[in-house]
Structure 1
């Protein structure tokens, strides 16, 4: 799992931005992947939210993690979690 491959930067950002580690694990399992530089960005887009809702038991169950649905994570090619943040703008597709 991702918990054993956190960089010091990622640990600090998780704490500063109040993002629980289980949200990163949900991103890893159900999030959509987009390539960005030499890393992958994981987000909860529309399809990812549908997969997550099915897993949790329906659309109403997303209310439990509603505050973290705008979170994204960046995982490097080495497999280490580089950073996490709350999305404030739109991601443009290449």
Structure 2
């Protein structure tokens, strides 16, 4: 996934702090944005986002066998053009 750009500093810290990239994907997708001084923002998981993650993961796990055949075609601009099932 990696919908975000990591600086070298952030990449190094994620390795040092044993934070795997898939966890950063989850943080990016589900995290609450908290504005910080200077225009930046903090991303964090709150109780609501944890509940949403659990619901979404349960849905995926419940249908994992049927989801194994899905595919998506992505354009060069990053837009998803179509999705389907492989037969």
Q: TM-score band (shorter)? A: 0.5 to 0.7
Distance (Å, rounded) in 2 between the aligned partners of 1:39 and 1:51:
25
1:35 match: 35
Aligned residues: 56
Structure 1: gaps (5+ residues)? 59-94
Regions of 4+ moved over 3 Å: none
Deviations 1:30-64 (A, max 9, x none): 11111112211111111111111111118xxxxxx
TM-score between both structures, scaled by the size of structure 1:
0.56
TM-score, with length taken from structure 2:
0.60
- Report the counterpart of residue 46 of structure 2 in structure 1: 45
Structure 1 CA distance for aligned equivalents of residues 26 and 49 of structure 2:
10
- Greater relative contact order (Cα 8 A, min sep 6): structure 1 or 2? 1
Supply the distance in 2 between the matched residues of 1:47 and 1:33 (Cα, whole angstroms).
13
Query: Which structure 2 segments of 5+ residues have no match?
Result: 60-87
| The structure with more radius of gyration | 2
Task: Give 1:19 shift.
Answer: 0.2
RMSD between aligned residues: 1.3
Write the distance in 1 (CA, Å) between the matches of 2:40 and 2:32.
13
